């Protein structure tokens, strides 16, 4: 009964209602709760419902649902308990048959089930009062017999000395021993302690190991999920690249076919002109032939006539046939240079295929591809860029920058091998750009208390203006229906807004003071840069701390500014005017990706596009880097 009670109290009780599980459900983090308790908890978390995920009440880890479009009740009802929990519930749960651990061994042989009150650990048998008394009177048991209770611990006997109980632990030999073993075989050992003094330490170590293993399993599980996702991305990318190569080949073939058609059309045209010229000459010659034939007949008649008058009438000048107007028989000649054609085909480039690494690959290094200069003719001041992001609009990469001093949102892209740029004039200086989709962004305009919605076509087009009640600077999209923004006036805080600018709630955390930039991770956590305390802070949308990055010494931050994350979850942090730092998803330092030694200064913001290129923004330009491995 004691074992069942311990299992029920420690492993089969819901941490929300503190009662034995009723219809248990296990989340991806391996925490288990009653389905009714879990449903009630989720209904108090609208952000989780919006994110189509189930948050764990214990560790806050999110569990993705299989049917996000179904009601929340179905999300919970589809969860199953783990195999371990289900097995324990079957054996020890409320519906399991009661376990009687202490039933008299003697009575059991006689077909009776009498509760035992005493037991012999040497014989491994238990007795009821009557059988024990009978056994003592007959002298059949000379071993030590102990009274049983629900709290009696099972005694472990020594394998060598079966009548001796394990009471000691030899640290030197790492063995559990009895007193006889100690006196006979462990006299030279220096560290032998009572087993009770070691047990709690071992349990503590096992508990720590269990927690570490659980953490390691969670990390590996995330890595496996990410790797499987990357495999699908690689396959999809391979199909896209193959389609692009085929399209390039078809474009080249169409160009060759156009050249072929031009030559064939020229041949047809030149041949037609020659044929028409010769046909006209033939028609003229046929008319002249008919005239000569008529004159020939008249002359022949005059020659045979006896009348001198008729003979004189047949006399007349006969003109000679002129050959000067005859058309020249020109020839069409096709001159082909096979060597030149072969060389042209050899140098023909359908495109280039190369392996581009992501910043998350720590063995890769950044290489500068090109620089986007953001000074335009209409600017009244020197550009003062505050943020940058990259969109993919109909297959075109569009770089979007916020020019604070010139009050403009600017876009840069390449179309038909030509560099293009456009700009949108705003009411005041833009601060941070929040990417909503591949063609739409939200932009904070703090001096006007506005958040504007801009469509990129790829030219920036103002769609709408949200009139805010506060001065919002840092801005990010929390999900498809909510924004998160920081207040740039006392009292400082971070608000969750709906798409109309209405404040839904505030995110409170003692570390959040005056965020300059906000970024939302793939796990819907918030990362904020805090220059006031020179830290990077990651919190949940409820305000619980996930990690803080506050290095000291040579690595101490001077001015944490722009933030972004990579497709693998790594964090990139700009330490203003100094460097770009790479951290793991949990906030551990990885490396300095860029420093002043790489030819960049006044760094303010950073972002990564879908191709793995990194865009680093200073006050007046954006530098684009790709990552390659050294060979």
pLDDT value, residue 172: 86
pLDDT value, residue 329: 64
| pLDDT tens per residue, range 119-132 | 775 566 788 888 87
| pLDDT (average), residues 549-558 | 92
CB 195 within 8 A of CB 169: yes
Asked if residue 431 belongs to a domain, the reply is yes
Does residue 337 share a domain with residue 234?
Answer: yes
Residue 538 to residue 177: CA distance in whole angstroms? 50
pLDDT value, residue 7: 56
pLDDT at position 552 over 50: yes
- Work out whether strand 494-498 and strand 482-487 pair parallel, antiparallel, or are unpaired: antiparallel
Helix ranges, 350-498 (H): none
| pLDDT (average), residues 519-544 | 91
The three-class DSSP label of residue 579 is strand
pLDDT value, residue 100: 46
Residue 607 to residue 158: CA distance in whole angstroms? 66
pLDDT value, residue 583: 95
pLDDT at position 153 over 60: no
pLDDT value, residue 90: 67
Pairwise pLDDT comparison (87 vs 502), residue with the higher score: 502
pLDDT band at 3 (very low <50, low <70, confident <90, very high): very low
| pLDDT tens per residue, range 161-182 | 888 888 888 888 888 888 888 8
The residues near 369 (Cβ < 8 Å, ≥ 6 apart) are 613, 624, 625, 626
Q: What percent of the chain has pLDDT over 90?
A: 33
Q: Which of residues 99, 117, 135 is at a domain's end?
A: 99
Does residue 375 share a domain with residue 338?
Answer: no
pLDDT value, residue 99: 44
pLDDT at position 248 over 80: yes
pLDDT at position 115 over 60: yes
Asked if residue 176 belongs to a domain, the reply is no
Does residue 567 share a domain with residue 473?
Answer: yes
pLDDT at position 2 over 50: no
Does residue 494 share a domain with residue 576?
Answer: yes
| pLDDT (average), residues 42-57 | 82
Q: 212 vs 206, 216, 219, CA distance in Å?
A: 10, 6, 10
Q: What percent of the chain has pLDDT over 70?
A: 89
Q: Can you give the residue range of the structural domain that contains 334? A: 219-347
CB 174 within 8 A of CB 202: no
pLDDT value, residue 152: 47
The three-class DSSP label of residue 12 is coil
Q: 217 vs 222, 529, 570, 620, CA distance in Å?
A: 9, 30, 19, 46
Does residue 259 share a domain with residue 386?
Answer: no
Domains contained in the chain, number: 3
Does residue 420 share a domain with residue 291?
Answer: no
Asked if residue 602 belongs to a domain, the reply is yes
Does residue 283 share a domain with residue 377?
Answer: no
Asked if residue 364 belongs to a domain, the reply is no
CB 422 within 8 A of CB 410: yes
Stretch among 55-69, 128-142, 272-286, 470-484 having the lowest mean pLDDT:
128-142
Kind and range of the H or E run holding 75: helix 72-77
Asked if residue 295 belongs to a domain, the reply is yes
| pLDDT tens per residue, range 291-311 | 888 888 888 888 887 777 777
Kind and range of the H or E run holding 423: strand 418-425
Residue 586 to residue 288: CA distance in whole angstroms? 103
Q: Which of residues 73, 99, 125 is at a domain's end?
A: 99
Q: What's the CATH code of the domain at 52?
A: 3.30.40.10
φ and ψ at 255, to 5 degrees?
-65, -40
φ and ψ at 424, to 5 degrees?
-125, 125
Nearest CA-CA partner of 548 in 521, 524, 528: 528
Q: What's the CATH code of the domain at 586?
A: 2.120.10.30
pLDDT at position 87 over 70: no
pLDDT value, residue 1: 44
Does residue 392 share a domain with residue 481?
Answer: yes
CB 613 within 8 A of CB 628: no
CB-based burial, 566-583: b 16+ in 10 Å, e otherwise: bbbbbbbbbbbbbbbbbb
pTM above 0.85, yes or no: no
Does residue 308 share a domain with residue 396?
Answer: no
| pLDDT (average), residues 265-274 | 89
Asked if residue 584 belongs to a domain, the reply is yes
| pLDDT (average), residues 568-577 | 90
pLDDT value, residue 408: 95
pLDDT value, residue 344: 81
Does residue 376 share a domain with residue 343?
Answer: no
Nearest CA-CA partner of 100 in 1, 237, 233: 1
Residue 611 to residue 525: CA distance in whole angstroms? 24
Does residue 286 share a domain with residue 390?
Answer: no
Nearest CA-CA partner of 402 in 354, 322, 311, 474: 474
pLDDT at position 573 over 80: yes
pLDDT value, residue 151: 43
Asked if residue 180 belongs to a domain, the reply is no
pLDDT band at 245 (very low <50, low <70, confident <90, very high): confident
Q: Which of residues 99, 121, 149 is at a domain's end?
A: 99
Asked if residue 487 belongs to a domain, the reply is yes
Nearest CA-CA partner of 497 in 459, 447, 444, 448: 444
Query: Tokens 């879908």 — which residue?
Result: 610
Residue 489 to residue 505: CA distance in whole angstroms? 17
Question: Angle at CA 441, nearest 5°, toward 439 and 445?
Answer: 155
CB 408 within 8 A of CB 415: no
| pLDDT (average), residues 388-415 | 94
Quickly list DSSP for 119-132.
EETTTTEEE-HHHH
pLDDT at position 364 over 60: yes
| pLDDT tens per residue, range 6-26 | 556 656 788 888 888 888 888
| pLDDT (average), residues 245-265 | 89
Does residue 342 share a domain with residue 411?
Answer: no
pLDDT value, residue 561: 92
Please, what is the average pLDDT of the chain? 84
pLDDT at position 145 over 80: no
């Amino acid at each position: 009964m004691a074992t069942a009670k311990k299992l029920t109290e420690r492993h089969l009780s819901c941490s929300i209602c503190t009662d034995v599980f009723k219809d248990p459900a296990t989340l991806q983090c391996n925490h288990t709760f009653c389905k009714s308790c879990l449903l009630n908890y989720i209904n108090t978390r609208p952000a989780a419902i919006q994110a189509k995920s189930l948050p764990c009440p214990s560790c806050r880890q999110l569990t993705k649902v299989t049917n996000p479009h179904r009601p929340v009740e179905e999300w919970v009802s589809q969860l199953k308990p783990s195999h371990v929990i289900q097995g324990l519930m079957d054996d020890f749960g409320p519906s399991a048959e009661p376990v009687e651990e202490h039933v008299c061994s003697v009575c059991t042989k006689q077909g009776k089930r009498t509760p035992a009150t005493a037991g012999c650990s040497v014989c491994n048998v238990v007795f009821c009062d009557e059988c024990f008394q009978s056994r003592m009177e007959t002298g059949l048991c000379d071993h030590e017999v102990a009274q049983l209770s629900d709290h009696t611990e099972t005694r472990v006997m020594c394998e060598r000395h079966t009548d001796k109980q394990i009471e000691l632990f030899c640290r030197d030999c790492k063995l559990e021993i009895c007193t006889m073993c100690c006196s006979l075989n462990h006299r030279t050992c220096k560290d032998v302690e009572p087993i009770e003094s070691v047990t709690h330490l071992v349990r503590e170590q096992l508990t720590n190991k269990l927690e570490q293993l659980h953490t390691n399993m969670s990390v590996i599980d995330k890595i496996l999920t990410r790797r499987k996702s990357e495999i699908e991305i690689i396959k999809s990318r391979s199909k896209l690249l193959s389609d692009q190569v085929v399209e390039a080949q078809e474009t080249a073939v169409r160009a060759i076919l156009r050249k072929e058609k031009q030559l064939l059309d020229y041949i047809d045209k030149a041949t037609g002109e020659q044929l028409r010229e010769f046909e006209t000459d033939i028609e003229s010659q046929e008319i002249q032939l008919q005239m000569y034939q008529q004159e020939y007949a008249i002359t022949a008649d005059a020659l045979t006539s006896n009348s001198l008058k008729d003979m004189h009438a047949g006399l007349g000048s006969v003109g000679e046939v002129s050959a000067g107007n005859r058309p020249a028989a020109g020839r069409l000649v096709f001159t082909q240079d096979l060597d030149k054609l072969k060389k042209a085909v050899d140098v023909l480039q359908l495109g280039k295929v190369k392996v581009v690494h992501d910043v998350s690959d720590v063995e890769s290094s950044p290489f500068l591809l090109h620089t986007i200069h953001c000074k335009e003719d209409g600017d009244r001041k020197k550009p003062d860029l505050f943020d940058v992001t990259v969109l993919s609009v109909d297959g075109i990469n569009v770089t979007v920058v916020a020019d604070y001093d010139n009050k403009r949102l600017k876009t840069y892209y390449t179309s038909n091998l030509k560099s293009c740029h456009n700009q949108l004039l705003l009411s005041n200086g833009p601060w941070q750009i929040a990417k909503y989709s591949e063609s739409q962004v939200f932009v904070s305009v703090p001096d006007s208390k506005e958040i504007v919605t801009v469509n990129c076509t790829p030219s920036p087009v103002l769609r709408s203006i949200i009139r805010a009640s506060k001065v919002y600077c840092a801005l990010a999209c929390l999900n498809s229906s909510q924004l998160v923004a920081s207040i740039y006036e006392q009292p400082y805080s971070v608000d969750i807004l709906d798409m109309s600018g209405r404040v839904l709630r505030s995110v409170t955390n003692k570390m959040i003071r005056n965020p300059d930039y906000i970024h939302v991770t793939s796990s819907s956590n918030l990362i904020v840069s805090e220059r006031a305390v020179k830290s990077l802070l990651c919190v949940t949308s409820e305000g619980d701390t996930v990690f803080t990055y506050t290095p000291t010494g040579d690595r101490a931050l001077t001015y944490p500014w722009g933030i972004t994350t990579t497709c693998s979850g790594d964090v990139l942090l700009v330490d203003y005017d100094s460097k770009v730092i790479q951290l793991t998803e949990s906030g551990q330092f990885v490396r300095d990706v860029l420093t002043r030694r790489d030819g960049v200064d006044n760094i303010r913001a950073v972002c990564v596009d879908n191709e793995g290129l990194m865009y680093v923004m200073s006050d007046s330009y954006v530098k684009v880097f790709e990552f390659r491995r050294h060979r």
